[in-house]
A and B are shown apart, each in its own frame.
Chain A
Amino acid sequence: MVCTRRSWSDLAGTVSVRLGFNRNRYLVAPGLYAVGAPDRSAPVLVTANYKLSFDTLRFALPGRHIWLLVLDTCGINVWCAAGKGTFSTQELVFRVEASGLAKLVDHRRLIVPQLGATGISALQVKEQSGFSIQFGPLRASDIAAWFDNGKREIEGMRDVTFSLKERAELIPVEFHLALKSMWWLFPLLFIISGIGPDLQITARLMSRGMWMIVALLAGTGAGIILVPLLLPWLPGRAFALKGAIAGLLCGLFLIFMTETGLRLPELLALLGIVVVMSSYLGMNFTGSTPYTSPTGVEWEMKRAIPAQFSLLVGALMLWVGTPLVLT
């Protein structure tokens, strides 16, 4: 028996997972669950054992009597697990068998979320388990309306969206992941900023070093906050380009709105760093968007990575070279 109302601990768990903590271990036990008091004719919904997926689904079913068949996807959501092969034909057939579902219901029908179709072949499940599959709506929040409409979709239920709210929800976890993989850039570039012709290292760290940190933060913010929020309005299709433009805006704002006391080549170097950082992180965001094709990402990376690398090398040469050459 599962509850269809959200508790405070569910809410706290959701917030912490969205922030990126404990995200890979937020799961429920696989198997068969009862929502309400399902009988032998009650529908069977299939889902993943990521607790956010399980919660979203059960909270969308208040007052209904339904069986939930939870597959073991190692705590990964339906779509990603389907793409990676754990929300699969094989696992579904196994779970139907292991749960003894055939002894609990008279019908032989399963409702699989539409995004699970990447991993589940309806034809093969039917052949191997005797259960036929109907692909339900894409979003759990549409499931009640879909049932009430006689298990037929209403306009828009089949299409994935990427609204401002959906994009904003990704920001905390993107931040967490970026800092985890790129934190070393901050101390490294800070220390490099101290290089110069004399022993005034502390003075250079206090001015150039600090501004380098500011530039890195600006680049991170542009790539991780501005790119998702301004996605439809940033020009271009390629995310590396969108990121570069967001970085350029942030970098120019930084240079013109603050009194850095730095020289022109140094300012250009900082601008380059902000643009590279934002462009790279923007490109990285393709992995979290629901409309980018792998072939497109490959096309973009082949062109963007050499450009980003050249700009990075150029900016660093300008940054380190300026105090050595100009006195």
Chain B
Amino acid sequence: MKDLRYIDGVTSLSLDRSVCIGCKMCSQVCPQAVFSYHAGKASIEDGDGCMECGACGVNCPVGALSVNPGVG
């Protein structure tokens, strides 16, 4: 979220770019516009915007994304 920001530098989200196939599924499901694309692969553009909902991790077809989602 661009106008409302939470605690910086704590997110559990991580991306292994060497595994990414650039299918763009993560940006389809991300509600916070965390991802962008460079050279045909995803990159974490706004990690501090991540709310750890876990949608990207569940839907990454190659397991390139890991996030520790809470309940809620």
Interface residues of A (CB under 8 A from B): 79-80, 82-84, 114-115, 117-123, 135, 138, 158-162, 231-232, 237-238, 287, 289-297, 299-300
Contact with A along B1-40 (1 / 0, CB 8 A): 1011111101110000000000001011111110000000
Min C-beta distance of B68 to chain A, whole Å? 7
CB pair B71 A83 closer than 8 Å: yes
Among candidates B6, B32, B68, residue contacting A159 with C-beta atoms closer than 8 Å: B32
Q: Shortest beta-carbon distance, A92 to chain B, in Å?
A: 13
B53 within 8 A of A: yes
- State whether B59 touches A115 (Cβ < 8 A): no
Q: Are B7 and A117 in contact (CB under 8 A)?
A: no
Q: How far is the CB of B36 from chain A (nearest CB, A)?
A: 13
Which chain A residues border B58 with CB–CB below 8 Å? 117-121
When distances are taken between beta carbons in the complex, the residues of chain B under 8 Å from A294 are 52, 68-72
Q: Is the CB of B30 within 8 A of A237?
A: no
Q: Which of B12, B53, B68 contacts A83 (CB 8 A)?
A: B53
Are B31's CB and A299's CB within 8 A?
Answer: no
Asked if A292 contacts B10 (CB within 8 A), the reply is no
Contact yes or no, B71 A159, CB < 8 A: no
With both chains docked as a complex, state the minimum distance between the C-beta of B60 and any C-beta of chain A, in angstroms.
9
Tell me which residues across on chain A come within 8 A of B32, comparing CB atoms. Answer: 159-160, 291
Assembly CA distance A158 to B34 (angstroms): 11
Q: Are B1 and A159 touching (Cβ within 8 A)?
A: yes
If A123-B59, A291-B32, A297-B70 touch, whether A161 touches B1 (CB-CB below 8 Å) is yes
Min CB distance B37 to A, Å, is: 14
Q: Which of A117, A135, A231, A292 contacts B51 (CB under 8 A)?
A: A292
B65 CB within 8 Å of chain A: no
| B59 adjacent to A117 (CB under 8 Å) | yes
Q: Write the nearest CB–CB distance from A292 to chain B, whole angstroms.
A: 5
CA distance A316 to B7 in the complex (A): 31
Please report the C-alpha to C-alpha distance between residue A117 and residue B60 in the assembled complex, in whole angstroms.
11
CB distance from B44 to the nearest CB of A (A): 14
Nearest chain B residue, comparing its CB with the CB of A295: B10
Selected contact of A118 from candidates B11, B54, B61, CB within 8 Å = B54
B10:A117 contact, CB within 8 angstroms: no
Check B55 for interface membership: any CB of A closer than 8 A. yes
Instruction: Judge whether B42 is part of the interface by a CB distance below 8 angstroms.
Output: no
Contact A291 B69, CB 8 Å, known A120-B58, A158-B28: no
With A83-B70, A237-B8, A295-B11 known, 5 other A-B pairs at CB within 8 A are A83-B54, A117-B58, A120-B58, A291-B6, A294-B69
Residue among B1, B25, B69 with max Cβ neighbours from chain A (10 Å)? B1
Q: How far is the CA of A295 from the CA of B9 in the complex (A)?
A: 10
Which of A238, A292, A293: most chain B CB closer than 10 A?
A: A293
Contact residue among A121, A232, A237, A290 (Cβ-Cβ distance under 8 Å from B31):
A290
Contacting pair B3 A232 (CB below 8 A): yes
Complex CA distance for A84 and B70, rounded to whole angstroms: 9
Chain B residues whose C-beta falls within 8 Å of the C-beta of A238 in the assembled complex = 7
Once A114-B31, A293-B7 are accepted as A-B contacts, the answer to whether A122 and B55 lie under 8 Å apart by CB is: no
Assembled-state Cα–Cα distance A117/B27 (Å):
11
**Could you list 26 examples of A-B contacts with CB < 8 Å?**
A83-B69, A84-B72, A114-B28, A118-B53, A119-B58, A135-B28, A158-B27, A158-B30, A159-B32, A160-B1, A160-B31, A162-B1, A237-B5, A287-B72, A290-B1, A290-B31, A292-B6, A292-B51, A293-B10, A294-B70, A294-B72, A295-B70, A296-B11, A299-B7, A299-B10, A300-B7
